[in-house]
Structure 1
Amino acid sequence: MNIKYLAFFITAVSSLNACSMVGNIDDIKPYYKMETDNVIYNSASAEAVLRGVYKSWRTFNIASFRPYMSILSGTTASKGGGVTGGQEFINNSIQANNIALSNIYQGTYLTINTANNLIMLMERGDAKGMPAQRTNEIIAECKVQRALAHFQLLRHFGYFFDLNSPYGIVLRNKPFEGTETAPRANVQESYNFIMQDLDDAINQAPEHQELHYYVTRTTAKAIKAKVLLHMGKYAEAARFAKEVIDEAQDKGYALEDNFSSIFTNGFDSSEALFATYTFGSTETVSDQISRTTYSDYTKRMADALEGSESDGNLTTGNGYDRRFYLMFNPTLAGAQGNGKYPYSSNGAGKHNTQMILRLGEIYFIHAEASIRNGNDALGRKSFQTVASRAGYPEDYVSKLKSDVLLDHIFKHKILELFAENGEDWFDFVRFYKAKNIAINAIKSSIKTESQLVLPLPQSALAGNNLLKQNPL
């Protein structure tokens, strides 16, 4: 067995269409299984396998799911033929046999298993001649991605908002073949697992990476700030977010001066803390973003923040939040129909990067966490930084009354991040659970708390008899 087998393992999921990834456990065994003899034998082969872990973030199963989350929250709307299986997301009535659920669940565990296999090979010393520091760095880079993948699964399929809930996720820290059964950990155990990986990475990951589609210690700190925010540990979330903001420039990160530059620069953006690499005819990402557009909710919100709900002009941008205008102005909108995905989805040249985590989000995390922790002044400062970049006056945040501050952070963060990585949905859930917004604040189809968590896919339940479905 040689490295070609592992290359197949890493890339197999990207060659599968949506239909082929639905079914019982027997259908997916070959894509989890991996032979490990002689897969890694030196530094070059180890680096090649590591690139495969990174590549997994832009496979169809993961990349194509991102538009679903904004449809679920109501910040975007389906257009044309719509996304596959999208009607259930439009109606907030997702069923366990929905094709998209199976895709994201299996795709994310494939990312975890790819990382687990590489960690195992590096720990047993297969990369002959590789310096110990680089060995530790590769393990740490895998742990960052393993933590992020588990966090995504917890937010999609677990009761991430309730630390006392038994409905966490299945945790994987060893290679698996897809045949092993395991129960769900509880939510606190799930967070503990994620935190341990991030703490290890903060100590061992590379200090600096020239290329922003690779992770660093700063990336691990940023993810930790985000996880802590979701846990409701606001003082710690604010502290880690502030560390990231303070060290960003020295580590090669900086906010873009112009919002649209984030997306035209893509993975080369100074703002990207972790983004997918996409270039040429083979390094592509398959998503369904061109099948979505803005919702009436987002349009009204972008209009109201810059005047009234009825004075916006998409042709000139007058009366609209600049981020919304840059996203959907007919002249500026790119090949996919919006400014966040400006490039063609095929052919030569640069393709659309998917921003998994960027520095602008960390400013919002610091702002929200600081305010929830009682430090209004620090929170306002970070909020003003991103508001200023969006064209708001330098005294905009200082004029907001304290009782509307979190509401404005919620709205601005949606306009900053919607249609990127699902944050608009997870923020909706968090703000509702914190009693900041009503459950039907965005969509009338969201009526009960059971709609706040996606059901586990039927294919996962069929292959794991210890797995219990979420309460419906």
Structure 2
Amino acid sequence: MKMKKIINYAVAGLLLVSSFAACDLDRTPHNSDVQKPYEDMATTVQYRDGLYSVLRGAENAGRYTLSEYMSDMYCVMQGDGGHATPYVTWTIPRIETADHASNYYFGFNRLIQQANAFVGNVKLAIANGVYKTEVDKTNAQIYLAEAKTLQALALFRLMERFAYPYDPNETTSPKNLGVVLIKEYDPWAVGARATQTETYSYIMSLLDEAISVLPETNANNMYVSRDYALGLRARVHMAMDNYAEAANDIRAFYKKYNLISAANSDEFEEAYRKMSSNPELIFRGYASVTNGYLVYQDLMGATASGTNVKYNPRVTPLPWVCDLYDAADYRKKVYIVDKVNGDGGKGYVVNKFLGDPELREDPKKENFKTGCRFFSLAEAYLILAEADIMTGNTAEAMEVLKELSKSRGAEVSGADYMQILKDERTREMIGEGSRLNDMIRWNMDLVVSPVQAVLHKIAVPTILQTDDPTRVPAGFYAFTWEIPNRDLVVIPELVRNWPKQ
């Protein structure tokens, strides 16, 4: 049965907590979701750029703030004012109604909506013979493949947070459920959630189709390429425990790219922050001084003071996180930095999202403008290493981890391969929302640090509705987010993830 779906994507976009500037709105055509064939290639390119603008609004660092808070890596500062505390300490009712979760849900659903519209319009244009030259015909197929990749990305991001861990043998609802599959543009479409198997099968079919068409790379890495689609498919394979397939996808491309080569942390920082020349970015977002840039402050709390930067963060990494970085590790001065004179951790703050120097109005003054990083070579290394460990190929896994760590001025060694991988992945991916998904994949309990009790003058840190008030056991339902209440109210076919509170 169909009924009007009461989801206002435009309003949802305004609720973003992080300051995402512009989404490059001047490049997003009016009525971009209207279903009609594009009239020529110039119009197609304009709407293609608009789709990438929507991508930047969905897939940016601010989208993963709640995932970061809910991981086990942070201590809340006393001046938080209740912004991060409910999520770091797992206050279940606040997690259920978190704006971050709702914005995540609507952001990626909007990307699906816009990608569906683009695919439909290009197909209509092809059927109508709009594209006359062989070049235009080829490009139209490439643009279709790009959009299919973005459809797959959006569905996978929703599966990561709104579906339970994949189990092909699970038959009990909601643990066997995926997300609602809207395969064509239909703004009024509603319905029940597909199964996990159905959802992942559709994601894989989109990526398989795209990979067969996409060029391996593109000149500036600002558009979807075959290599990015392979990396995305490897992510999906990891979520499905298809480790050999994930390794094969990464091996198909990773050697053609170079890790940052730096002699010290200053050189590493310069290369890492300059998006246009960072050799590790396999897919990056368009950004200029005026359009497309991201300013992300939830973890840093940084402000510019003349030519200096001051930090007043909501959260700070716990001591065990800071201790993962050896003194020689460049990331201990670039990804985190010892600049906080406050009351948490060891005085470190996540510093990963300082601005790109090339996006400054004044070369001497930090303005915190940076671009979106959609996929990096470092993540490819980590996927390959984990997949190799899980398939018993530990010798090659260690070589991969050593190469990545060495490029950061550090060194890894030992025989506890999985722990080495976990530590290196946590060091490298800090701030990007990865840790919560990693804990789910690794079947880890979450323990709230005793540091919280000291900071907030309570007897013990507590987590609601768990048998042990200081621990979230692996598999606890709130590792998976609840479907936003707006959809649950107006779409009776939807099944909740959580028991009713």
Change (3 A) 1:439 1:138: same
Q: 1:257 aligns with which of 256, 261, 264?
A: 261
Change (3 A) 1:279 1:13: farther
Would the alpha carbon gap of residues 359 and 64 (structure 1) be closer, same or farther in structure 2, given more than 3 Å must change? same
Q: 1:102 to 1:76 in 2, by over 3 A?
A: same
What residue in structure 2 maps to residue 193 of structure 1?
202
Residues 394-434 of structure 1 show CA distances to partners (whole Å, capped at 9, x for unaligned) of xx43xx12xx21112111111101112x21111111111xx
- Partner of residue 184, structure 1: 193
Once residues 72 and 285 of structure 2 are traced to their aligned partners in structure 1, the CA distance between those partners, rounded to angstroms, is: 25
* Conserved? CA contact 1:168–1:184, under 8 Å: yes
**More strand, by proportion:** 2
Matched, 1:137 2:142: yes
Kindly state the Cα deviation for residue 64 of structure 1 after the two structures are TM-superposed: 2.7
2:101 aligned with 1:101, yes or no?
yes
2:254 to 242, 245, 262: 245
Q: Deviations over 1:202-243 (max 9, x none)?
A: 101123211222110011111111111111111111111111
1:273 partner SS: strand
Q: Which residue matches 1:457?
A: 484
The offset of 1:108, in angstroms, is 0.6
- Is there any run of 5+ residues in structure 1 with no aligned partner, and where? 1-10, 20-30, 307-318
Quote the residue 2:154 is aligned against. 149
Q: Deviations over 1:5-51 (max 9, x none)?
A: xxxxxx957972449xxxxxxxxxxx99942346x211111111111
Please tell me whether the aligned partners of residues 205 and 216 of structure 1 are also in contact (alpha carbons under 8 angstroms). Answer: yes
1:327 to 326, 330, 335: 335
3-state SS in 1 of match to 2:442: helix
CA distance in 2, matches of 1:361, 1:201: 21
Structure 1 position 270, deviation (Å): 1.9
Question: Does the aligned pair in 2 maintain the 1:63–1:286 contact within 8 Å?
Answer: no
C-alpha distance in 1 between matches for 2:478 and 2:182: 26
Alignment partners' CA distance in 2, 1:441 and 1:375? 34
Q: Which residue of 1 aligns with 2:493?
A: 466
* Aligned-partner SS, 1:124: helix
> Does the 8 Å contact 2:75/2:449 carry over to 1?
no
Q: 1:270 to 1:320 in 2, by over 3 A?
A: closer
Residue 125 to residue 84, structure 1, CA distance change in 2 (3 Å): farther
Considering fraction of residues, name the structure with more helix: 1
Amino acid at match of 2:397: G
Q: In the alignment, which residue of structure 1 is the partner of 2:472? A: 446
> Quick check: 1:105–1:457 contact (8 Å CA) kept in 2?
yes
Q: How does 1:226-245 map to 2 (within 5 A)?
A: 226-245=235-254
Query: Following superposition of structure 1 onto structure 2, how do residues 423-438 of structure 1 map, counting pairs within 5 Å?
Result: 423-432=434-443, 437-438=444-445
Distance 1:77 1:442, change over 3 A: closer
Instruction: Supply the AA of the counterpart residue of 2:141.
Output: N
Residue identity matched to 1:340: K
**Contact conserved, 2:35 with 2:120, CA < 8 A, in 1?**
no
Match of 2:167 in 1: 162
Aligned residue identity for 1:263: Y
Q: CA deviation at 1:63?
A: 4.8
- Aligned residue type for 1:430: R
2:386 to 368, 374, 380: 368
Contact 1:182–1:464 (CA<8 Å) still a contact in 2? yes
CA gap 1:32/1:381 in 2 versus in 1, 3 angstroms: farther
Residue 408 (structure 1) aligned to one of 408, 411, 420? 420
Kept in 1, the 8 Å contact 2:385–2:397? The answer is yes
Q: Relative to structure 1, is the Cα distance of residues 61 and 143 closer, same or farther in structure 2, using a 3 angstrom cutoff? A: closer
CA RMSD of aligned residues (A): 3.2
Q: Structure 1 pair 375/61, CA: closer, same or farther in 2 (3 Å)?
A: closer
Letter in 1 for 2:193: R
Residues 208 and 34 (structure 1), Cα distance of their counterparts in 2 relative to 1, 3 Å cut: closer
TM-score by length of 1: 0.79
SS in 1 for 2:283: strand
1:219 and 2:214 matched: no
In the alignment, the residues of structure 2 paired with residue 219 and residue 145 of structure 1 have an alpha-carbon distance, to the nearest angstrom, of 11
Deviation at residue 61 of structure 1 after TM alignment: 8.9
Cα distance change, pair 209–61 in 1 and its aligned pair in 2 (3 A)? closer
1:392 paired to 2:410:
yes
Which residue does 1:113 correspond to in 2? Answer: 113
1:106-161 deviation digits (Å, cap 9, x = unpaired): 11111111111110011111654362211110000011111111110000111134
